[in-house]
Amino acid sequence: QVQLQESGPGLVQPSQTLSLTCTVSGGSVRLGGYYWTWTRQHPEKGLEWIGYIYYSGSTDYNPSLKSRVTISIDTSKNQFSLRMSSVTAADTAVYYCARLFWSNGLVYFDYWGQGALVTVSS
Amino acid sequence: EIVLTQSPGTLSLSPGDRATLSCRASRSVSSTHLAWYQQKPGQAPGLLIYDASSRATGIPDRFSGSGSGTDFTLTISRLEPEDFAVYYCQQYGDWPPITFGQGTRLEI
pLDDT, tens digit (0-9, with 9 covering 90-100), for A51-109 = 999 999 999 999 999 999 999 999 999 999 999 999 999 999 999 999 999 888 888 99
User: In this structure, are residues A72 and A78 in contact, taking their beta carbons and an 8 Å threshold?
Assistant: no
Closest CA to A122 of A26, A16, A34: A16
pLDDT digits (tens, 9 = 90+) for B31-65: 788 999 999 999 999 999 999 999 999 999 999 99
Position B93 confidence tier, pLDDT thresholds 50, 70, 90: confident
User: pLDDT at residue B30 above 80?
Assistant: no
What pLDDT is attached to residue B9?
A: 94
Tell me: cis bond preceding B60? Omega within 30 of 0 counts. Answer: no
The region, left, alpha or beta by phi > 0 then psi within -120 to 50, assigned to residue B62 is: alpha
Residue A15: what are its φ and ψ, rounded to 5°?
75, -5
Percentage of chain B modeled with pLDDT above 70: 100
What pLDDT is attached to residue A103?
A: 86
Q: Is residue B10 packed enough to be buried (19+ CB in 10 Å), middle (13-18) or exposed (0-12)?
A: exposed
Across the strands, what pairs with A41? A47, A94
What pLDDT is attached to residue A44?
A: 80
Q: Which of B1, B35, B88 sits opposite A46 (nearest CB)?
A: B88
Residue of B nearest to A109 (CA): B47
Measure A74 CA to nearest chain B CA, in Å.
23
User: In this structure, are residues B48 and B63 in contact, taking their beta carbons and an 8 Å threshold?
Assistant: yes
Measure B15 CA to nearest chain A CA, in Å.
25
Q: What are the C-alpha distances in Å from B21 to residues A122, B46, B55, B87?
A: 41, 17, 16, 8
Residues 6 or more apart from A3 whose CB is under 8 A from it? A24, A25, A26, A111
Using a CB-CB cut-off of 8 Å, the residues of chain A touching B43 are 114
The secondary structure of residue B36, as a DSSP letter, is E
What pLDDT is attached to residue A105?
A: 83
Position A45 confidence tier, pLDDT thresholds 50, 70, 90: confident
What pLDDT is attached to residue A100?
A: 95
User: pLDDT at residue B6 above 90?
Assistant: yes
